[in-house]
Chain A
Amino acid sequence: MSSSESPDLNLIVDHLFRHEAGKMVAVLTRLFGFPNIEQAEDIVQETILKALETWKFGKIPENPQAWLYTAAKNKAIDVIRRKKLHYKIEHERAALLKSEYTLVPSVNEMFNDNEIKDSQLRMMFACCHPEFSEESQLTLILKTLCGFSTAEIAKAFITGEETISKRLYRTKETIRKNKIELVIPTGADIGKRSDVVLNAIYLLFNEGYNSAQAAQLIREDLIAESFLLANLLSENPTTKSPKVYALMALICFHSSRSESRLTPEGEIILLAEQDRSKWNQSLIQLGNSYLNLSAIGSEISSYHLEAAIAFEHCSARDFSQTNWTQILRYYESLCAIHPSVITRLNKAIVTMQVLGAEAARQELQEIADKKKIESYYLYYSLLGEIASKLNEIPEARIYYEKAIELTLSEKERRIIRHKIGSLRK
């Protein structure tokens, strides 16, 4: 055995199979047409399996990515020939796939770097077609672009595999029925459609950042994936925009704190108690540079404001030096353009820091959608905190207990029990 062929434990980068699966599904779906996505998924599955079966004996190719692409190309060409798939393909390149002279070069061309990125972007817009519900968009993105399996998606959303399978089945029906194609919208459409894509990426990030129950590894994956997807948008002249940069800044700032948010045992550490020396400074700097890029243009989106808020937290030396007044101003603007219940709830938390508990209570009372807010454990947890600050101890206890009832997360329950415990002192 020559030294170049010896088993090398670290030759394969983390998530190589998953990331390449996402790219190959995008390329092959573009090649076969969206309605034939299952054919694309099958080929990718076979390709990865072949890689596993071949490489596991210690012979990892020098360029694993190129190996995968060659295997996938060969399978795709074979399927087009054997199944006469081109009869089912209805896009601009279909004619090229019919002739033996153009079949192979056409398939090869689709696997160059630019075309791969283009296919991923097309896939992103197709997954975020307005025909799909938000949850279907996220599911489809994870399945096709990020290479997650049904089981892994179910884990990320803390739901059953059956639910995810059904959801995917329905989206595939919708693709066929509505003849949804893999295209990047142009002209007047691009703005509106981009907003849907950004929203989906934002939700994906939130799912990773805020889910109190999903396993830590899955959460980190979701955060990393949301960044990669936003990065794809930012690299393309048609799809890049100040909003994209703002979203990337937001993701960087929040991720910079992920190391300090949990104890080694996985317990939640509140912002005030986090060890700020553990915050990742290079991510904060990256966030800063995206925030600067996002300042071009006149529109201030919710991503801009959320990034600005996260920036304030990241740049405060300790909790007491946080510029709460500035943060409250951002929250006011945020509520003006995006007055969601959760935003107002967060604003009330900041109000408590700036104007005191009484003002925060007032703020909560002004939220009209009582039914919705009363389903949040955070609402009762905040009411408890307000009552405790105003020395209304029995009320505080009742609120905290209500909060405990509402959260499904054992970790959050422990945090609130701790707060109840400190009431007596």
Chain B
Amino acid sequence: MEKFLYLFRGGDMPESKRSPEAMQAHMQEWMTWMGGLMAKGNNVEGEPLHSTGMQVNGSGKMVIDGPFMEGKEMVGGYLLVDAKDMAEAVEISKGCPILEFDGKIEIRAISRTGM
């Protein structure tokens, strides 16, 4: 098994669809998706990210507020997923409910030292 990082961007529910019941249903889809992966041994582990943060830059160590960008461009959260190879990691990601609302998933293989 290899480890992969999923970076999530966008995929917010459109405002017109945000009823409490619909939001719970959407969350349930996430739970079902991740629960299914856990059951298949693709250990998932992840965390949401705050929309605000800081950036420290270069040798000057300049600190600025940020990142400032459009909501849909910002990384909203990440998951670490075990998969056989990139092909499987891509396949797994297709079931992610973030795609329902036009979100994006960036998939990166974690490089291991000595390989």
- Give A residues with C-beta under 8 Å from B: 1, 6-9, 12, 15-18, 20-21, 45, 48-49, 51-60, 147-149, 151-152
Contact = CB atoms under 8 A, between A and B. Distances in A.
A425 to B, nearest CB: 47
A58 to B, nearest CB: 5
B27 interface: yes
Contact of B46 (A17, A20, A21, A58): A58
* Contact-residue bracket for chain B: 20 to 34
B34 A15 contact: no
A20 B20 CA distance: 9
Given A12-B28, A57-B46, A52 B21 contact: no
A105 B48 CA distance: 30
A15 B21 CA distance: 6
A16 B48 contact: no
A9 B31 contact: yes
Interface in B37-95: 38, 43-48, 76-77, 79
Nearest to B31: A9
Interface in B1-42: 12-13, 16, 18-24, 26-28, 30-32, 34-35, 38
Nearest to B45: A1
26 contacts: A1-B43, A8-B35, A9-B35, A12-B28, A15-B21, A15-B24, A17-B20, A17-B21, A17-B24, A18-B19, A21-B20, A49-B13, A51-B23, A52-B23, A55-B27, A56-B31, A57-B46, A57-B47, A57-B77, A57-B79, A58-B31, A58-B45, A59-B47, A147-B20, A149-B19, A151-B16
A53 B48 contact: yes
Nearest to A10: B31
A15 B28 CA distance: 11
Interface of B: 12-13, 16, 18-24, 26-28, 30-32, 34-35, 38, 43-48, 76-77, 79, 97
A148 B18 CA distance: 11
A310 to B, nearest CB: 29
| Interface SS of chain B | helix
Nearest to A221: B21
A52 B27 contact: yes
A212 B30 CA distance: 34
Contacts of B28: 9, 12
A18 B18 CA distance: 11
B20 A18 contact: yes
A162 to B, nearest CB: 13
A56 B30 contact: yes
B24 A18 contact: yes
Given A7-B34, A12-B28, A58-B44, A53 B76 contact: yes
Contacts of B48: 53-54, 56-57, 59
Nearest to A24: B20
Nearest to A44: B20
